[in-house]
Amino acid sequence: MKVLVTGGAGFIGSNFIFYMREKHPDYELVCLDKLTYAGNLETLEAVMDEPGFQFVRADIADREAVYTVFEAEKPDIVVNFAAESHVDRSIENPSVFLETNVMGTQVLLDACRKYGIQRYHQVSTDEVYGDLPLDRPDLFFTEETPLHTSSPYSASKASADLLCHAYYRTYELPVTISRCSNNYGPYQFPEKLIPLMIANALADKPLPVYGEGLNVRDWLYVEDHCAAIDLILEKGQVGRVYNVGGHNEMRNIDIVRRILSILGKPESLIDHVTDRKGHDMRYAIDPSRIHGELGWLPETRFDDGIQKTVGWYLEHCAWWKNIINGDYQDYYERMYSGR
Ligand code: NAD
Ligand code: TYD
């Protein structure tokens, strides 16, 4: 079995590559990644020269480049992680989100039609459902919840999902889609909430909490997400959407306090800053389908996962310091100074 993993030099894609190499050592993996600001070859160092693994630098929206890879590699399975993934950047500049997340997905789907595959899996997000009110804890996103997006990021991901479904319905392309809640764990780019707060706390810098910090996210350890995708590839029904989440809703402020407490840093570092535009209030997944049909359950409790994650960032300072010492500084200034 040969699996093409797009976006495999990013956070979840790299964790998926490590997961698949353990779980299916006989599979060949080809990672296709453009290496945007979020892609990092250092992350893949451990597998780079190993047999059964290949890296190709390419843009999923570059039709010629993608067709060349399909022609040469003839993958059996494609798992598409490649995306612009940060909501705040999408608010700043939506265009690249449409190019990569929508047009790039279309190019991959066309390549799958042209060269033939056993499965195309689209890695999507719960953000396509919009948000839930804080005062209705009884409400959850199911696969039937209407798509109702808030940010250019989520709008681009929802568009890609619709396109995937259209290719299934119209061309009978064997597509599956997973919509996962917020992930955390090793190798997450430091612009996202958890690694940003760890990095700032370690440097005794202010921790910028948007608004009151009452927004709720449903956090899942990245390895549990990888396991869910692997299960969908093996047993999932073609044409189907699977929500992935572990009923682990937490307010941002409580996540930030937890990180400070693990690191032994004072809560006085918390800095409430101007809220994100269009900020979604609450995400909460109903995972009944993937549990009932495929038997998936998350294995990592948040208490363990957050300890492991903080521990990982402590042990891998060089990995994230390389990032935050580069172009990231301009981004941070732009996004946070005087906010
Ligand atoms: P990330 O930003 O860490 O990584 C994205 C990767 O895609 C990078 O390696 C980048 O170089 C690559 N990439 C970007 N544009 C590309 C292009 N045009 N061609 C080829 N490669 C390109 O993102 P992530 O957090 O690992 O997210 C991966 C996927 O999972 C995304 O599709 C995202 O929407 C989805 N998702 C993420 C979360 C989360 O909490 N992080 C939750 C649910 C779903
Ligand atoms: P993020 O990690 O960007 O994921 P998403 O927006 O896709 O859920 O943000 C998670 C939550 O944390 C979100 O409600 C925004 C908030 N947040 C902050 O309060 N401060 C920050 O500096 C960042 C990056 C996020």
The alpha carbon of 126 and the centre of ligand 2 are apart by a number of angstroms equal to 14
Judge if the beta carbon of residue 210 lies within 6 A of ligand 2: yes
Judge if the beta carbon of residue 231 lies within 6 A of ligand 2: no
Of 33, 59, 126, 230, which one is the catalytic site residue? 126
DSSP-assigned beta bridge partners for residue 304:
none
127 counts as catalytic: yes
User: Residue 232 CA to chain centroid, in angstroms?
Assistant: 16
Judge if the beta carbon of residue 192 lies within 6 A of ligand 2: yes
Segment 30-83, tens digit of pLDDT: 999 999 999 999 999 999 999 999 999 999 999 999 999 999 999 999 999 999
Asked whether the predicted pLDDT for residue 244 surpasses 90, the reply is: yes
Query: What are the C-alpha distances in Å from 215 to residues 88, 189, 219, 221, 250?
Result: 15, 21, 12, 19, 8
Give the N- to C-terminal CA distance of the chain in Å, as an integer: 49
pLDDT number for residue 326: 86
What's the rounded Cα separation, in Å, for the pair 180 and 125? 5
Segment 109-166, tens digit of pLDDT: 999 999 999 999 999 999 999 999 999 999 999 999 999 999 999 999 999 999 999 9
Q: Which atom of ligand 2 is nearest to the CA of 280?
A: 14
Ligand nearest to the CA of 250: 2
pLDDT number for residue 237: 98
pLDDT number for residue 101: 99
DSSP-assigned beta bridge partners for residue 194:
none
pLDDT number for residue 255: 98
Asked whether the predicted pLDDT for residue 187 surpasses 90, the reply is: yes
What's the rounded Cα separation, in Å, for the pair 103 and 17? 24
pLDDT number for residue 307: 98
Q: DSSP assignment of 59-116, as one string?
A: -TT-HHHHHHHHHHH--SEEEE--S---HHHHHH--HHHIIIIIIIHHHHHHHHHHH-
Residue 100's nearest CA partner among 150, 181, 36, 168 is: 36
Segment 190-207, tens digit of pLDDT: 999 999 999 999 999 999
What's the rounded Cα separation, in Å, for the pair 26 and 18? 13
Q: DSSP assignment of 24-47, as one string?
A: -TTSEEEEEE---TT--GGGGHHH
Ligand nearest to the CA of 182: 1
Residue 284's nearest CA partner among 246, 316, 252 is: 246
The alpha carbon of 58 and the centre of ligand 1 are apart by a number of angstroms equal to 14
pLDDT number for residue 221: 98
Share of the chain above pLDDT 70, in %: 100
Q: At 273, is the pLDDT very low, low, confident or very high (cuts 50, 70, 90)?
A: very high
The alpha carbon of 136 and the centre of ligand 1 are apart by a number of angstroms equal to 30
The alpha carbon of 86 and the centre of ligand 1 are apart by a number of angstroms equal to 9
328 counts as catalytic: no
Q: Which atom of ligand 2 is nearest to the CA of 252?
A: 12
pLDDT number for residue 20: 98
Q: At 253, is the pLDDT very low, low, confident or very high (cuts 50, 70, 90)?
A: very high
Judge if the beta carbon of residue 82 lies within 6 A of ligand 1: yes
Q: Are 336 and 199 in contact (CB under 8 A)?
A: no
Q: DSSP assignment of 175-225, as one string?
A: EEEEEE--EESTT--TTSHHHHHHHHHHTT--EEEETTS--EEE-EEHHHH
Ligand nearest to the CA of 188: 1
Helix axis angle for 193-202 and 302-315, nearest 10°, is 50
Of 59, 127, 230, 280, which one is the catalytic site residue? 127
The alpha carbon of 299 and the centre of ligand 2 are apart by a number of angstroms equal to 24
What's the rounded Cα separation, in Å, for the pair 75 and 118? 9
Ligand 2: which residue has its CA nearest to atom 25? 193
What's the rounded Cα separation, in Å, for the pair 160 and 56? 23
Ligand nearest to the CA of 99: 1
What's the rounded Cα separation, in Å, for the pair 284 and 6? 27
pLDDT number for residue 188: 98
Global pTM reads 0.99
Judge if the beta carbon of residue 232 lies within 6 A of ligand 1: no
